Structure 1
């Protein structure tokens, strides 16, 4: 953690999860450049501290590191306590930390993490096909994916909600994905249930996620109509989208939105993406910085508002 930052009463405070690299790091840079005090969080203290130094070298001094593992309740509680004692409020939460929910297979030609030039001349579909051909889905990784991408995000959100409600303009942006769109579900019943926000509950989301993991374990993903390929990632992101919409209805005083950054060159895409992390981050910060009377409970696809389906 860094030393004290002088703060005026109208300074906006932002927390970014998974902020030490990739899209998260670029979001931290862009928010800091907008005059917002940024609390950059990451699991790894060494990487997080180095990321803060990198941003400070760009001339943005209002950035602090705080350790955070979104899957660890005590780590989340420590962050919440720190924010409460230091700032007494939170204006912006960007839930960016995520995992891919798959096991990587080493490509015999390119290794685990190819250079970006490997994919020159390949379109997005071809790059995704390559990604799928160099991974395998295991029950353990699927479980980890759901625990991190849905339950970890939810844990942080619930812990920081009171601080966001102490802001005059509290907002949450959940970094989502076009992989979380409901059109990828092959069961119309599942698709309709996840889209029926008036009747969907958090308890039912828990039941659906349990059902998915059981179906995964027994090899019934296809038969039950869950998404194919990267299914744990897709299901967890769809659940997070639904949770965001439930929360937006429950807390009309907050702006709670989901944003797809695009297909970005990061560790999760193994450098196969088309956009740079900076370009992807811009698609997130544009939603963070929407006007006070902007939409809530909405999904943004690489900038513009779009459908969850």
Structure 2
């Protein structure tokens, strides 16, 4: 089965990372509902397989599972080999897999009713007060959300380039906007895409983690606070996306903020459903022809990185 190319040539082939639940699962469902052949990936094979079976039960047969741990080079290589053998190309890559980069005070499944009557900002405030930001969690957050995603992109880039209309969507956040950084010099440097390099992004992330480890917070140096590692990783991924878009004009590479969604990561404190959040991502993945690239989309609409 895996030895031959499958799916008609006019069918889009899509990969979604972190696709077994929440936003990722809904992105898979919506892309498959639109006629794409979807490769749903997840760390856990049991959960990933169950998610595919659930989608097939909804009348979506063109969904397959492949295990993927985005921090494991051999796992990434295995996915790349599978895609090359099975399809020979990749049309859409949605990088959704991420972790909070924090330690949660409560179980991730939280009763949504406790947020009744709280507005957007009150919910965010509650979320930030109910996590601990340890050094280990911060390091893992940067390693997963930035470097893990980056390594997936690097491995699958040749397959995207084999498509006649390769599209890459990095699921981002308002926490990835440059306003989360209070150091004006760093903020301008990150916004100066013509001069910014991957090496410099590495240096900034290393400095952030060193400052975080030295003081438990990098606030004195102008680094973000409150989900600090998550914010830095998303800021870096936004910048990397813009670098890539400039380097590969043949592809469509954009960032998509789905909104504040009720997921495990937000302990169900969000204001949007996973279906609504996924819609804001899929809309970017399926933008009409015209090749808008290197942009940030918030809630499905073009917005600023700042």
Which stretch shows the higher mean deviation, 215-224 or 185-194?
Answer: 215-224
Match of 1:93 in 2: 93
Are 2:175 and 1:179 aligned?
A: yes
Task: Give the conservation status (yes or no) of the 8 Å contact 1:5–1:62.
Answer: no
Q: How many Å apart are 1:4 and its aligned residue?
A: 8.3
Deviation readout 1:214-253 (Å, 9 max, x if unpaired): 0000116111101121110100000000000000000000
TM-score under structure 2 length normalisation? 0.97
Deviation readout 1:170-189 (Å, 9 max, x if unpaired): 01000000000001110001
Unaligned runs of 5+ in 2: none
**Residues in 1 aligned to 2:18 and 2:68: alpha-carbon distance in whole angstroms:** 8
Aligned residues between the structures: 305
Task: Give the conservation status (yes or no) of the 8 Å contact 2:5–2:88.
Answer: no
**Residues in 1 aligned to 2:183 and 2:218: alpha-carbon distance in whole angstroms:** 10
Q: How does 1:95-174 map to 2 (within 5 A)?
A: 95-106=95-106, 112-174=108-170
Instruction: Give the 3 Å change call, closer, same or farther, for CA 176–91 of structure 1 in structure 2.
Output: same
Q: How many Å apart are 1:206 and its aligned residue?
A: 0.4
**Residues in 2 aligned to 1:141 and 1:10: alpha-carbon distance in whole angstroms:** 43
**Residues in 2 aligned to 1:125 and 1:58: alpha-carbon distance in whole angstroms:** 36
Q: How many Å apart are 1:3 and its aligned residue?
A: 11
Q: Any runs of at least 4 consecutive aligned residues in structure 1 with deviations exceeding 2 A, and if so which?
A: 1-6
Match of 1:28 in 2: 28
Match of 2:209 in 1: 213
SS of match in other structure, 1:29: helix
SS of match in other structure, 1:256: strand
**Residues in 2 aligned to 1:56 and 1:5: alpha-carbon distance in whole angstroms:** 21
Unaligned runs of 5+ in 1: none
Deviation readout 1:86-119 (Å, 9 max, x if unpaired): 111000000000000001113xxxx553211110
Q: How does 1:1-309 map to 2 (within 5 A)?
A: 6-106=6-106, 112-219=108-215, 221-309=218-306
Task: Give the conservation status (yes or no) of the 8 Å contact 2:5–2:85.
Answer: no
Q: How many Å apart are 1:303 and its aligned residue?
A: 1.1
Which stretch shows the higher mean deviation, 133-142 or 240-249?
Answer: 133-142
Instruction: Give the 3 Å change call, closer, same or farther, for CA 112–252 of structure 1 in structure 2.
Output: closer
TM-score under structure 1 length normalisation? 0.96
Task: Give the conservation status (yes or no) of the 8 Å contact 2:3–2:85.
Answer: no
CA RMSD of aligned residues (A): 1.5
